[in-house]
Amino acid sequence: MGKGARMRRVLVAAVGVTALATVSACGGGGGTDAAAGEGGDVTLEFSQWWEPELPDGELRGLMDDFESKNPGIKVKLLSGPYASTKEQVTAGAASGTMSDVVGLDGAWVNEFVNQGALADMSKLMADAGYDDSQLASQVKIDGSTYMVPVVNFAYMMFTNDDLLAQAGVTTPPSTRTEFEAAAKAITAGGKASGWILPLALDAPNGVQNDVMAWNWASGGTMLKDGEPDLTNADVTSTIDFVNGLNSAGVLAPGTATLKEQDKVEEFTNGRVGMMIDTLAHINTIKKDSPDLEFTVSAVPAVDGYSGKRGVPYASWGIGVAENSEHQAEAFKLVEYLMSAEANGKLSNAANAFPGNKTAVPDYVAGDPSFKQAFDVWNAGTPANEFVGLPVAESLMRDLGEQLQLELQGKQDTATTLKNAQAAWVEEF
């Protein structure tokens, strides 16, 4: 891939209160072309990792409703965990065997477009006479839409109420000092680690969600005039803090190989007292461990910080494969999922913010955990500086590689950020 192609910027066009845009998800491989089923039906393959994170039957129920409203179109769900789904979709993009409809992480869009793997949804919208003014946001490259965020998630602090209480901590930590003290107290109890940090390089979104979240929570930035600025005081403080937690022995084992699903499993099973995680996993945690009492709160800020908390966010995005022989039918599925009714149902099921500006989910009144998160969201400001950057996943990996070396005691923070800065400048 040429340097010029990699430099093409992603534009996130956002409108309204839920003006969120990328980063979250992916679709699996399988056959490329929609197959003709019995009676001449078109069968669309829809790769995503959403189904395992939703209550049982929710996504399939929406697909059944779509099929009833669109005779002649069937949907085959290809579902799996985020990491494995990402591998399948990436392989499909490279080989031209991507599923008809794919769940997307905004960090991958630039690469997939450069490979010619995603269809131009601006054209599909025009062909279908679709009114895109109802969309809260779109992800565009060179003026054309290639991904639509379906639902949007905030990343917040999850704390195990029982483990905190046993450690003598009465409320979730609000500052970095309080967090470090709580993590040490939980770890000292011998039943669990204080915090978990997933930094697997093959799924480097831990850099975004679990590391830079600390930076954004205190109003920090990693950019200056849109260019890399990793050696500034904000980022230095953040990396020093993370390394200090590692030195204090409060991190769960295996940081270098842990992925997002691993931290959820460890937290759900009571082996970790605190984690930063997406609200998408509230349902998963409650289903797998119904007796677990936990609290959702803002990511702790630096001591003395009085500004708005930056709240990291991510999205379940959707796109259509360029190799699909049934793009018009595939867009019908996109259109259905972005309708006010279906989008509201999906947002309710996922405890997420809707991608349709007119959708009205009712989860806030019905779920106390989400009510906590909603209050944090309204009090803070959306924050994710990786949104819109070229080769965002490579940037995460560059910093992750350097941070791993620091956590292994092979270099200090200044060297970590100097090396990562150099790599980012080259990527840009």
pLDDT (tens digit per residue) in 308-365 = 999 888 889 999 999 999 999 999 999 999 999 999 999 888 878 888 888 877 776 7
Is the same domain home to 257 and 404?
yes
Task: Kindly report the backbone phi and psi dihedral angles of residue 19, in degrees, each rounded to the nearest multiple of 5, phi listed first.
Answer: -80, 75
Under a CB-based contact definition with an 8 Å cutoff, are residues 121 and 319 in contact? yes
End-of-domain residue from the set 337, 355, 377: 377
Average pLDDT in the 17-32 region?
Answer: 37
Q: Rounded to a whole number, what is the distance in angstroms from the first to the last CA of the chain?
A: 14
3-state class (DSSP) for residue 78: strand
If asked whether residues 12 and 113 sit together in one domain, one would say: yes
Distance separating alpha carbons of residues 103 and 364, to the nearest angstrom:
25
Q: Check whether 391 has a pLDDT greater than 70.
A: yes
CATH number of the domain encompassing residue 352:
3.40.190.10
The most distant pair of C-alpha atoms in the chain lies apart, rounded to whole Å, by: 67
Same domain, 166 and 21: no
- One domain for residues 50 and 101: yes
| CA atoms of 353 and 377, how far apart (whole Å) | 10
Contact by Cβ (8 Å): 216, 310: yes
Question: How many domains does the chain divide into?
Answer: 2
- Other Cβ atoms less than 10 A from the Cβ of 111: the count is 21
Convert the pLDDT of each residue in 87-145 to its tens digit: 999 999 999 999 999 999 877 888 899 899 999 999 999 999 999 999 988 888 889 99
Alpha-carbon distance of 337 to 414, in angstroms, equals 46
Alpha-helical segments (H) within 151-288: 161-166, 176-188, 205-206, 212-217, 233-247, 260-268, 282-288
pLDDT at 350: 86
pLDDT band, very low/low/confident/very high, at 39 (cuts 50, 70, 90):
low
Structure tokens, 16: 């309204």
Band the pLDDT of 24: cuts 50, 70, 90.
very low
The verdict on 43 and 92 lying in the same domain is yes
Q: Are residues 123 and 178 in the same domain?
A: no
Would you place residue 268 in the very low, low, confident or very high pLDDT band (cuts 50, 70, 90)?
A: very high
Beta bridge partners of 12: 139
* pLDDT given at position 9: 39
Closest CA to 404 of 209, 272, 299, 254: 254
Give the range of the structural domain holding residue 146, as residue numbers without chain letter.
3-153+315-377
Q: Are strands 137-141 and 144-160 parallel, antiparallel or unpaired?
A: antiparallel
Q: Quick one: 300 and 225 in the same domain?
A: yes
CB 30 within 8 A of CB 93: no
SS3 187: helix
Nearest to 29 by CA among 63, 78, 68: 78
Same domain, 185 and 274: yes
Q: How do beta strands 101-104 and 42-48 pair?
A: parallel
Selected residue with higher pLDDT from 367 and 227: 227
Q: Over the range 311-323, which residues count as b (16 or more CB within 10 Å of their CB) and which as e?
A: bbbbbbbbbbbbb
Q: pLDDT exceeding 90 applies to what percent of the chain?
A: 68
Do 143 and 105 belong together in one domain? Answer: yes
Structure confidence at residue 388 (pLDDT): 64
Contact between 180 and 244 (Cβ < 8 Å): yes
Q: Rank 18-27, 29-38, 169-178, 386-395 by mean pLDDT and report only the highest.
A: 169-178
Q: State which H helix or E strand residue 13 sits in.
A: strand 10-14
102, 319 in Cβ contact below 8 A? yes
Asked if residue 138 and residue 105 are part of one domain, the reply reads yes
Please, what is the average pLDDT of the chain? 88
Residue 32 has pLDDT above 70, yes or no: no
Whether 393 and 371 map to the same domain: the answer is: no
- Of the listed ranges 22-36, 72-86, 150-164, 247-261, the least confidently predicted one is 22-36
Q: Which two tokens stand for residue 361?
A: 């989910």
Answer yes or no: is pLDDT of 30 > 70: no
Predicted pLDDT of residue 40: 67
Asked whether residue 19 carries a pLDDT value surpassing 50, the answer given is no
Residue of 406, 287, 428, 408 lying closest to 418 (CA atoms): 406
Between 10 and 285, name the one with better pLDDT.
285
**How many of the other CB atoms lie within 10 Å of CB of 211?**
23
pTM of the prediction?
0.70
Residues 98, 213, single domain; the answer is no
- 90: closest CA among 9, 136, 28? 28
| Distance of alpha carbon 75 from alpha carbon 334, whole angstroms | 12
- Per-residue confidence band for 428, with pLDDT thresholds at 50, 70 and 90: confident
One DSSP character per residue, 264-280 reads HHHHHTTSEEEEEEEGG
pLDDT per residue over 395-423, tens digit each? Answer: 999 999 999 999 999 999 999 999 999 99
pLDDT of residue 227: 92
